[in-house]
Amino acid sequence: MTTANPLVELQGATIQQDGRPILREVNLKVDQGEFTYLIGKTGSGKSSLLKTLYAALPLDVGNGRVAGFDLKKLNRKTIPRLRRKMGIVFQDFNLLEDRNVAENLTFALRASGWKDPAGIQSRMMEVLEKVDLKQKTLSMPHQLSGGEQQRVAIARALLNDPVLIIADEPTGNLDPETSDDILMRLRRLAKEQGSAVLFATHDYRILEHFPGRIIRCIDGKLIEEQEITL
């Protein structure tokens, strides 16, 4: 059931990349705690939509609000505040290769305003415990498996207790067994924290094993699965 104040809401939005419309007339609502799959072929607009939600791409046409922020009124001061309410997980992990696991998370905490060393240490170990990596604090990214690197990326995404987790093809570089593990962890952690999740994927096998709400990018439109006629 849709709430009166959804966490994510787009109305009549046009999603653009380099000034070129990718998706038109986008209407989307995501409620707190809701797990939603965003599916579609490569190039269908999934990543562009997610980038618009975390303000990497501007919203020029239509209206949108995310976590209480009006996407059309964002500026240099408010964009960081919006992103502190989010956790973002990418396909290629985006870890700092010259820093170990602890240093990667410490860097992310300091970048989001944490200053107290004891608080930073405590929070870092707390999120690493959630992804079963407390024993890997001194490991460099290249010493970790792909699945472990993605678990570090998830831990990083959880650092500031996000209300929204955006996962952009987070299992795209992983084998099926590891992909399932990452998805199960993300679903469990999001449920524990009450976070909403937008999980972009083109791996339809995942949908068969882990059902959920499905929204599809197709032919320049965003369509709820039940609206699709095959």
Output the pLDDT for position 226: 62
Q: Beta-carbon neighbour count of residue 18 at 10 Å?
A: 7
pTM of the model: 0.89
How does pLDDT run across 56-83, given as a tens digit for each residue?
999 999 999 999 999 999 999 999 999 9
> For the chain, where are the E strands, in sequence order?
8-17, 20-30, 35-39, 61-66, 69-70, 86-90, 164-168, 196-201, 213-218, 221-224
pLDDT surpassing 70 at residue 1: no
* Token reading at 100: 């170990």
pLDDT surpassing 70 at residue 175: yes
Regarding the domain with residue range 32-50+73-225, which homologous superfamily does it belong to in the CATH classification? P-loop containing nucleotide triphosphate hydrolases (3.40.50.300)
Domain chopping of the chain, boundaries: 32-50+73-225
CA dihedral 19, 200, 30, 185 (to 10 degrees): -150
36: region left, alpha or beta (phi > 0 left; psi from -120 to 50 alpha): beta
Output the pLDDT for position 18: 86
Residues whose CB is less than 8 angstroms from the CB of residue 172 and which lie 6 or more positions away in sequence, other chains included: 91, 201, 202, 203
pLDDT surpassing 80 at residue 5: no
